[in-house]
Amino acid sequence: MSILETIQSPAQLKGMGVEQLETLAAEIREAIVRQVAHSGGHLAPNLGVVELTIALHAVFDFAHDRLLFDVGHQCYPHKLLTGRQHMLPGLRTRAGMAGFPAPSESPYDLFAVGHAGTGISTAIGMARGDTLNGEAYDPRANPDGRRVVALIGDASIVNGVAMEGLNNAGTLGRQFLVVLNDNGMSISKPQGALSQYFDRLRLSHIYADFKKGARDILRHVPGGSLLEEAYHRMGEATKAMISEGSWFEHFGLVTVGPIDGHDLPTLVEFLSEAREFDRPMVLHVKTVKGKGYDFTERDAARFHSPPAFHVAEDDELLPEGCRVELRSDGRSFTRAFGDAMLGMMERDPLVVACTAAMPDGTGLTHVLERFPDRAWDTGICESHAMDMMAGLARTGRRPFFAVYCTFLQRAFDQAFQEVALQGLPVRLCLDRAGLVGGDGAVHHGFCDVALLRVLPDAAITAAMDEPSLLAALEFMRTYEAGLSSVRYPRDTVSGRLSSVPCPPFELGRARRLTAPCPAADLDAAVLAFGTPAVAALDAADALAGGYRVGVWDARFAKPIDAELVSELLTAGVPVVTVEDHSVVGGFGAAVLEAAQSLGLDASRLVRLGLPDLWIHQDSRSRQLAEAGIDAAGIARAIRSAAGARPPGAGVEAAGVAPAVPPVR
């Protein structure tokens, strides 16, 4: 039996020697690689923190102390050490463990986290709460109190919220440890002056003389006299590693390191001393993203969050120069977008583009290489990126901001104030819109339409396939009245309509996908926003023997095709709206509002979309079925709407919002 198989609680680590802990580290890595190869998931970030996670659990008692993760995609080793080994085979599905911390799984997980920069601030909140509750660690008054540790990495330290947290952390008059997992990477290579500072620090290996450097720092930080007293109680190893001229000293934080994040004895020694320090401290730890395997170390960006893959050479996991094959089900929307942007930027010198630390994830990698003076990766700084795009728009450029849909809300204030309010034409390309599969609730893009629809002059579009994505981007390129957006999922593009010409996008006009016929001849009509249009066509085909169903690609959630809505509802046709977005405030809500404003009877309008509850990790296809917006769910709604139900009876099904009478 392996050591890992015997671990039921992290308390067992405290009695282990270094050799056992190193063996355990190797076993954790192998378990993670084998599982991610089978199911997909976050690989390189987890391989890089194995020793660090073991050392943290060996030194602290996080059944009592507080451990706050930042980002969260580096939590697999933590989960394996906290009684969840049996959940690993179901990784990223409802039957197993989530790919991010999940309080519903274990009391060792304090927040469900998947967005960068939040860990320090939530940790400060818990530190202040424990102090108010009389539960905080104090070496004299309460030596058995709770300690607080925030683990931040993958370049999220440069995020604006992390900076705000650091600024406030220096005011804490108690133990507070920030562990900086510095692997020189974010999802890909980090950007900005701060990352360059860490690069120099990693390379220099010039640390302060502990007598001069530490005392100089203590004299210049707020509360230095108090810190100096604590310094005298600090262990000699930690004193010797106080960093001279540390960037963090300006926040009032004593900084220790850098230290080797894969050297277990060193990690345990420094963490043991930091555990007793009673003032805010940063422990700077150097790690290698993808540590332990040649293919992940060489291409950590590619293996940050790969799909399932196969390692050649008879399934050996560690051959030198092995061949790794990532499984693919077809051409992705992300790839289609990246190719489209390349072509657009070659044709139009006014077009510029940016992403916030997601060049691979948004498809802009080749754009950044081809146009280094017109395309930028800002790092994990969505708010800054939005404002930078606003500035570019003000100079007459045509900016496109490629961002995960779930990260858009981090920049909504900027979209409101610096873009929409100014009437500037910034173009948002929202990858991972709707349900995202294994990443679960922390990454679903379910509220972009509801957010952006409130902004005057916004043009909100969605793509149903690759030709419509290209047409939407071309429409946005020349739309100058205000902000515009296009949403598309983390999925493969459908080829169903590849042989049919895709007409250009016209502001506020839907596209009919089924054969023309008078509205009065229809048993039901489906207005679909984005990729659900393909599922709606499949549903219409399945019902063709008994129902005449018209299907439209709505194309716009703002402005709505009011002429079409009026035509259908005036004819008394049951209308089903469907979207991969929340029913609250989404496309269907916009159709309902349009009907009300036109004075139309909307009692036979049925809205399908994501229900007003959290949908957790699983395959995207299962999530779509759960929400009732796959072909089978849409067919059920059509049959119900077109049946002998009295007007306004509504539809009782998961993800379906019953229609409400219009306000007159």
In the chain, domain spans: 50-286, 333-487, 511-657
Active site residue 382: yes
Say which of 79, 146, 174, 289 is annotated catalytic. Answer: 289
Say which of 84, 410, 487, 620 is annotated catalytic. Answer: 410
Alpha-carbon distances of 333 from 329, 379, 430, rounded to whole Å: 12, 22, 11
Distance CA 305, CA 490 (A): 13
Region 318-326 average pLDDT: 49
pLDDT-derived band of residue 618, with 50, 70 and 90 as boundaries? very high
Whether 192 shows a pLDDT value over 80: the answer reads no
Query: What's the pLDDT at 248?
Result: 78
Query: What's the pLDDT at 246?
Result: 66
Q: SS3 of 378, please?
A: coil
Q: Which helix (H) or strand (E) holds 162?
A: helix 160-169
The per-residue pLDDT for range 535-593, each reduced to its tens digit, is 999 999 999 989 999 999 999 999 999 999 999 999 999 999 999 999 999 999 999 99
pLDDT-derived band of residue 325, with 50, 70 and 90 as boundaries? low
Extract the tokens encoding 488: 């598309």
Look at residues 86, 82, 75 and name the one whose alpha carbon lies nearest to residue 57. 82
* CATH code reported for the domain at 50-286: 3.40.50.970
On the question of a cis peptide bond just before residue 77, with omega within 30 degrees of 0, the verdict is no
Look at residues 421, 368, 369, 413 and name the one whose alpha carbon lies nearest to residue 393. 421
Q: Cα 420 from chain centroid?
A: 24
Extract the tokens encoding 78: 């933590």
Query: What's the pLDDT at 185?
Result: 52
Whether 180 shows a pLDDT value over 90: the answer reads yes
The per-residue pLDDT for range 221-268, each reduced to its tens digit, is 444 444 444 444 455 555 555 554 567 777 788 888 889 999 999 999
- Please state, rounded to an integer, the average pLDDT across all residues of the chain: 87
For strand 324-326 and strand 309-311, is the pairing parallel, antiparallel, or unpaired?
antiparallel
Distance CA 204, CA 580 (A): 50
Distance CA 599, CA 576 (A): 19
Distance CA 528, CA 588 (A): 9
Return the bridge partners of 286, or none.
182, 260
Query: What's the pLDDT at 644?
Result: 42
Q: Please, what CATH class does the domain formed by 511-657 belong to? A: alpha beta
Distance CA 476, CA 348 (A): 13
CB 158 within 8 A of CB 190: yes
- Residue 217: partners with Cβ closer than 8 Å, 6 or more residues away: 208, 224, 242, 244, 246, 249, 254, 255
Whether 322 shows a pLDDT value over 70: the answer reads no
Distance CA 581, CA 565 (A): 20
The per-residue pLDDT for range 52-109, each reduced to its tens digit, is 999 999 999 999 999 999 988 899 999 999 999 999 999 999 899 999 999 999 999 9
Whether 12 shows a pLDDT value over 80: the answer reads yes
Query: What's the pLDDT at 249?
Result: 76
CB 31 within 8 A of CB 111: no
Is 333-487 in CATH node 3.40.50.970? yes
Say which of 382, 418, 466, 626 is annotated catalytic. Answer: 382
One fold for 50-286 and 333-487: yes
